Structure 1
Amino acid sequence: MPNSESADFIELMSSFQGRLYGLILSLVADPDAANDILQDTNLILWTKAHEFQLGTSFKSWSFRIASFQVMAWRQKKMRDPLIFSNEIIQEMMAEQNKRPDNYEERKDKMETCLAKLPERQRDLIKKRYGLGSSIVHIAEELQSTANSIRQVLFRARTNLTQCVKSLPESDS
């Protein structure tokens, strides 16, 4: 595959990671398994890159490969069932119940910090992660380059991380 085609393929592959993960997660309902399957899918996509024709539907091609990987994972799970004893399940549940449930607090912190972002960063975060738009699509829509969009998103994520870490923990 020539360099320009490699770069285009890498761009396509990168822009579809969120959608591929979402598809896989919706089919297996296990984030860890979804991550493993996504890695396997990416490896196959890369090794079969020469079979992909630029200009055709990357979504259809990559989703088909991902669905085959999900089917393979399901077959493996059926052959290799993991069964825990009742004691282990009770211990796991007790351990889970000890963990604080701070989802609402984390969500509130994120909303507070999102509101503090500069408008451009906030808009790009909403387009990329709220609407699931690809970086390429956002760049085209805003008549910008994918690289400049990536840089703004990087700064936005950095700002969000610093902001969330700086907010005090609640006493609940």
Structure 2
Amino acid sequence: MDTDIGADPAASPTAPAARPPDKSVLFLPLFLRNERPLYAYIYTLLPRRADADDVLQETSLVLWDKFDVACPPTDFLAWARKVAYHKVLDFHKKTRRSQARLSQLFLDKVAAAAAEPTLAAQLEARREALNACVEKLTPQSRELLTHRFAEGATTQSTSEQVGRSVDAVYKALAKLRQSLFECAQTLLAREGCP
């Protein structure tokens, strides 16, 4: 049997066909790079963290199912936001918690504003500045914030947990808010962010 050593094996009729790239190899880096801005977008439309978490999970599943390896989206984040927007609409249809429901027009306007690259970048810069400022707080101040802003917490329940009066907790939180605001503004001004 003659074998041409210089022959291209891909040109051979018995060579295996090129396999398409693994879906996870293409999808996961795109998703991980865009997960935080996608979550920020969803959280803008659903201010309860638990609701935003649920919608992000549902959105992630749809993105995975609809991701086409042969033709990936040219702007992954724009595509992901579109899917998330429809999941938010589904969420509002399923849950009729408040009688004062947001109108479709209002949701459209908020979604469009939140998708603006400059606004998204500003929100991300503010979030990072706030996180940096929270890290600078004393352990007692961080503990107070953690208790107060836990899911379902009230100022009354926080005062019981930290062993301070409700009035003292109100005053401490007001000082913390002002301190965090000033710290974040200083950091943003240093970075040239509005």
TM-score by length of structure 2 reads 0.42
- Find the structure with the greater CA-based Rg: 2
The structure richer in helix per residue is 1
